[in-house]
Amino acid sequence: MIKSLAANEHVVRVYDQSRKWFERAERVLPGGVNSPVRAFRSVGGDPPVIAGAAGAVLVDVDGNEYIDYIGSWGPMILGHREATVVAALRAAVDTGLSYGAPSTPEVLLAEEIISRAPGLDMIRFVNSGTEATMSAIRLARAATKRDVIIKFSGGYHGHADSFLVQAGSGAATFGLPDSPGVTAGAAQDTRCAIYNDLGSVRRLFEAEPQRIAGIIVEPVAGNVGCIPPAPGFLAGLRALCNRSASLLIFDEVMTGFRVSRGGAIELYSVRPDLVTFGKVIGGGLPVGAYGGRAELMRLVAPSGPVYQAGTLSGNPLAMTGGLATLAMLDKAAYSELERRSARLEEGLLMACKSTHVRARVQRVGSMLTLFFADHDVRNYADAQRADHGRFKKFFHAMLRRGVHLPPSGYECWFVSLAHDDQIIERTVELAGEALSEITQ
């Protein structure tokens, strides 16, 4: 039994090795990390340095164990080191690490993804979600011969220049939604609308009727906490794009094959023109992809003139990780994820109620956020009005109890198939204790 699961055991956690490693890290890596959200800047303290993981559990370099709700920010939908994924990867390592030439796993994964996501004919693999989104908007601009892209404030589509405008995720967490270094030129063709507010999108179309190449949207906003689309919102975006011959781009880097077998496209029955993927489709290895209807995708080089390339794109290990992961994600797997995530939601709400803490749990499938707020969170401004000071206290009270939450109130927690009933119940119990502690 992991220490976090041991009932009523007072676990004294020592972080000596983590501290040493993080000090070394800070000397050679900006902020000690390779991606800002990993640092604890907004919650304070230093992050534990991770030595390994299995199932739903992380272990740090001091031997402390944590129930993990980061899941590498989404990819680990089966849990860490799932046996069939590991076996497939071991076999793939013995075959070859990278060829820079066509290989079979990229064809198999493309076929699998296309078979799942309705309306998708072709796909191009890249190495990250950022690459996927920046390539998708290049394609949208080329296809429409227009420049302007609409995004949503608090929407996060990776760190390419044109997206770092009112951006979510780490940019929101650290108060850098408009990063220095992004030139006025790079940002000048980005417009921001308000998530779940079709009127704000309509006004942008009315202001520049012939200039909008497309809208890029997270079908479930996941980078300012979990915000489901209001009924009719995605269909409304589709209609606005249709009316103006603009393209609708779903950024499914987070939702892709997490929220359902066919991703958000299937869940909400709205078909975008282009879609981006990442995270789950690599099973924990670096990957991204963008895809769409054949006539659009054939514009991509070498079929067409829109240039985009990558030395490691379609890497056989990443493709194998994705294939092995998707192979496990059948309808039953999604029902199970839903059942366990629903129980976590219910348990967290009960814990809040019994400690008289005003809170909302917003959830779509196995992604959820506990907002310390007594209002529904429908957009970025609503997320900003949540009590992030209270989140900070809760975060540390949970970490002390061995629950590893995303270190920001603007992020989603990710439930995996390795979060069994015992782990979910223990999380609920620990959340109750943590809430009692911070409200005393």
For the annotated catalytic residues, the residue numbers are 156, 251, 279
Binding status of residue 169 toward ligand HOZ by CB under 6 A: yes
- Of 58 and 428, nearer to ligand HOZ (C-beta) is 58
Strand order in the sheet with 360-364: 360-364, 367-371, 413-414
Binding status of residue 37 toward ligand HOZ by CB under 6 A: yes
Give residue 249's identity as a one-letter amino acid code: I
Binding status of residue 170 toward ligand HOZ by CB under 6 A: yes
CB of 47 to ligand HOZ, least distance (A): 12
Binding status of residue 218 toward ligand HOZ by CB under 6 A: no
The residue at minimum Cβ distance from ligand HOZ is: 35
386 contacts: CB under 8 Å, gap ≥ 6: 225, 371, 372, 373, 377, 409
- Of 169 and 260, nearer to ligand HOZ (C-beta) is 169
Binding mask 361-400 for ligand HOZ (x = CB under 6 A): ----------------------------------------
Q: How many positions of this chain bind ligand HOZ (CB under 6 A)?
A: 8
CB of 302 to ligand HOZ, least distance (A): 31
Cα distance between residue 284 and residue 319, in whole Å: 10
- Of 166 and 355, nearer to ligand HOZ (C-beta) is 166
CB of 320 to ligand HOZ, least distance (A): 22
- Of 156 and 334, nearer to ligand HOZ (C-beta) is 156
Binding status of residue 127 toward ligand HOZ by CB under 6 A: no
Binding status of residue 411 toward ligand HOZ by CB under 6 A: yes
List binders of ligand HOZ among 71-90 (CB under 6 A). Answer: 73
Cα distance between residue 332 and residue 208, in whole Å: 46
Cα distance between residue 88 and residue 109, in whole Å: 14
- Of 273 and 411, nearer to ligand HOZ (C-beta) is 411
List binders of ligand HOZ among 301-330 (CB under 6 A). Answer: none
Integer-rounded Cα radius of gyration of the chain: 21
CB of 169 to ligand HOZ, least distance (A): 4
Among 35, 115, 354, 439, binds ligand HOZ (CB under 6 A): 35
Binding status of residue 223 toward ligand HOZ by CB under 6 A: yes
- CA nearest neighbour of 360 among 350, 342, 375, 340: 375
CB 33 within 8 A of CB 40: no
- Of 255 and 355, nearer to ligand HOZ (C-beta) is 255
- Of 143 and 370, nearer to ligand HOZ (C-beta) is 370
CB of 436 to ligand HOZ, least distance (A): 29
User: How remote is the C-alpha of 281 from its chain's centroid?
Assistant: 12
Cα distance between residue 438 and residue 390, in whole Å: 8
Cα distance between residue 205 and residue 179, in whole Å: 26
Binding status of residue 355 toward ligand HOZ by CB under 6 A: no
437 contacts: CB under 8 Å, gap ≥ 6: 397
Burial profile 168-202: b = 16 or more Cβ within 10 angstroms, e = fewer: bbbbbbbeebeeeebeeeebebbbbbbbbbbebbe
Q: What are residue 435's phi and psi, to 5 degrees?
A: -65, -40
CB 136 within 8 A of CB 293: no
Binding status of residue 405 toward ligand HOZ by CB under 6 A: no
CB 67 within 8 A of CB 400: no
CB of 63 to ligand HOZ, least distance (A): 25
CB of 70 to ligand HOZ, least distance (A): 9
Max Cα-Cα span within the chain? 64
List residues binding ligand HOZ (CB under 6 A).
Answer: 35, 37, 73, 156, 169-170, 223, 411
